[in-house]
Amino acid sequence: MLKSEVYDVFAFEKEQKVWDINGVKIGGQPGAYPTVLIGSIFYDKHKIVSDRQKGIFDKKKAEELINKQDEMSDKTGNPCILDIVGDTAEALEKHIDFVASVTKAPFLVDSTLPDARLAAIKYAVEAGLVERAIYNSIDVHSKESELNTLKELGVKSSMILVFSPKALMPEGRIELLKGAGGEKGLIQKAQEAGIKNMLVDTAVLDVVSISFAAQTIYSVKNEFGLPSGCGPANAITAWKKIKKEFPPASYKACISGSVLVTAMVGADFALYGPIEEAESVFPACAMVNGLVAYYNKRKYRIRQEPSHPLNKIF
At residue 7, the pLDDT reads 47
Q: At what angle do helices 144-153 and 114-126 cross, to 10 degrees?
A: 10
221 Cβ partners below 8 Å, 6+ apart?
12, 14, 16, 227, 228, 266, 268
CATH number of 18-312: 3.20.20.20
Q: What are phi and psi of 57, to 5 degrees?
A: -150, 170
Mean pLDDT, rounded, of the chain: 95
Q: How far is CA 88 from the centre of its chain?
A: 21
Residue 80 to residue 34: CA distance in whole angstroms: 10
Sequential DSSP letters for 36-87: EEEEEES-TT-TTEEETTTTEE-HHHHHHHHHHHHHHHHHH---EEEEEE-S
At residue 4, the pLDDT reads 45
Residue 112 to residue 148: CA distance in whole angstroms: 19
Please say whether the beta carbons of 133 and 125 come within 8 A: yes
Residue 300 to residue 271: CA distance in whole angstroms: 28
Residue 84 to residue 42: CA distance in whole angstroms: 6
Q: Which amino acid is at 159?
A: M
Residue 59 to residue 54: CA distance in whole angstroms: 14
Task: Give 78-124 as a 3 state SS string.
Answer: CCEEEEEECCCHHHHHHHHHHHHHHCCCCEEEECCCHHHHHHHHHHH
**Hey, how many other C-beta atoms are within 10 angstroms of the C-beta on 1?**
9
Residue 98 to residue 85: CA distance in whole angstroms: 13
At residue 247, the pLDDT reads 96
Give this prediction's pTM: 0.97
**Hey, how many other C-beta atoms are within 10 angstroms of the C-beta on 131?**
14
Q: What is the DSSP letter of 246?
A: S
Residue 248 to residue 306: CA distance in whole angstroms: 35
Low-confidence ranges of the chain (pLDDT < 70): 1-9
**Hey, how many other C-beta atoms are within 10 angstroms of the C-beta on 52?**
18
At residue 180, the pLDDT reads 84
291 Cβ partners below 8 Å, 6+ apart?
none
At residue 8, the pLDDT reads 66
Cα-Cα-Cα-Cα dihedral sign, residues 143, 145, 148, 149: negative
Q: pLDDT tens-digit profile of 12-27?
A: 989 999 999 999 999 9
Q: What is the DSSP letter of 17?
A: P
SS3 label, residue 241: helix
Residue ranges covered by each domain of the chain? 18-312
